[in-house]
Amino acid sequence: MSRILALLFGWALLAVTAGCQASTTGSGTLEDSAVRPRIVATTSLIGDALSQVAGDRIELRVLLPARVDPHSFQSSPQDAAAVAEAQLVFINGFGLEEALQGTLESVADPARLVSISEGIEPRKIAAGEREPREAGTADPHVWLDPTNVMVWVENARAALTGLDPGGADHYAANAAAYRAELEELDAWIRSEVERIPAENRELVTDHDNLGYFAARYGFTVVGTVIPAYSTLAQPSAQEIAELEQTIARYEVPALFVGVAVNPVLSQRIAQDMGVDVVALYTDSLSGPGGPAATYLEMMRYTVGAMVEALTIP
């Protein structure tokens, strides 16, 4: 992990546990109804969680548009300006924002950076499981387990309350209500997964992003097109050949590809092996009006697509 991201994690812990001082605009303060905290979220998923907790009490800017791969996103000067002016900047952490390092460096006060994943135990690749390029690194895709999003909600509540104490009751009530919805989602996913025969709960994905989901709901990720947590990596010819052997050995019926990821290589492998390509929302929301406009809708869409692909009539 790069030095700047390591610093971000330490800074984010300070922001969550100690809170931070509210800034002012002219003579206004956060106690004035006309002044809303300026908040930046790096991804649409984090933005949705913040919206659930804060409602319209904050002025929220999300850096990554919907259906955009967070691993490869390139920020604009306007994004850097929004980050520099924000009173809190919420990041996922665990290396997800590597492409945003330069933009995040514009945050002069480290206490304004909040790692919303603080307190989640990351999955890590043990040495020998994969090429050394990722051994020991953390899997950033924590949101694909709803219990981790419950941690996000508490971290958001704590950080927003530290910035805006007058909204403490508002944030607490919203956080409790959303946590109940996440608990309901978790139970629903478990019931849907039961429809899939145990021997069919094997996944092949475009990159290694479903590990938390698999661990929570009893799946095994048997192969990935890109054998890495990041889509910025490239598979070798040998790795592709090994993946095709895995697909044949496990008789996997489908290859699951995130809508934010370039599907060309996955489609070629699927065509070679005679399996389906199933599009999932995993790393980004769909945007308003789409099938995954919120995190809850995203997870229901994704689980529904999985069940349909892996359930034999």
Same domain, 136 and 205: no
Same domain, 211 and 144: no
Same domain, 107 and 88: yes
Same domain, 283 and 202: yes
Same domain, 223 and 102: no
For residue 136, is it within any domain? yes
CA-CA distance, 63 to 174, in Å (whole number)? 23
For residue 293, is it within any domain? yes
Adjacent-strand bridge partners of 91: 115
pLDDT tens profile 30-63: 544 458 999 999 999 999 999 999 999 999 999 9
Query: How many domains does the chain divide into?
Result: 2
44 versus 108: the higher-pLDDT residue is 44
Kindly report the pTM of this predicted structure.
Answer: 0.84
pLDDT tens profile 161-172: 999 999 999 999
Given a contact cutoff of 8 angstroms between Cβ atoms, the answer to whether 295 and 142 are in contact is no
CA angle 256, 94, 222 (to 5 degrees): 30
**Distance between alpha carbon 1 and the CA centroid of its chain, in Å?**
18
Chosen domain end from 185, 205, 232: 185
Percent of the chain residues past pLDDT 70, beyond the cut? 82
Same domain, 226 and 248: yes
Give the model's confidence band at 106: pLDDT under 50 very low, under 70 low, under 90 confident, else very high: confident
Give the model's confidence band at 192: pLDDT under 50 very low, under 70 low, under 90 confident, else very high: very high
CA-CA distance, 50 to 175, in Å (whole number)? 9
Q: Is the pLDDT assigned to residue 5 strictly greater than 70?
A: no
Q: Is the pLDDT assigned to residue 143 strictly greater than 70?
A: yes
In the β-sheet with 113-115, what is the strand arrangement from edge to edge? 59-62, 38-41, 88-91, 113-115
For residue 80, is it within any domain? yes
Q: What is the pLDDT of residue 126?
A: 53
Same domain, 222 and 116: no
Same domain, 119 and 200: no
Q: What is the pLDDT of residue 27?
A: 28
Residue numbers of the domain that contains 220: 196-310
pLDDT tens profile 273-302: 999 999 999 999 998 999 999 999 999 999
Same domain, 170 and 201: no
The sign one gets for the Cα dihedral 6, 9, 10, 11 is positive
State the average pLDDT over residues 65-73: 72
For residue 223, is it within any domain? yes
Q: What is the pLDDT of residue 134?
A: 53
For residue 109, is it within any domain? yes
For residue 190, is it within any domain? no
Nearest residue to 151 (alpha-carbon basis) of 162, 143, 161: 143
For position 265, which CATH number holds? 3.40.50.1980
DSSP result, 114-149: EETTTT----BPPTTSS-TTTTTPBP--GGGSHHHH
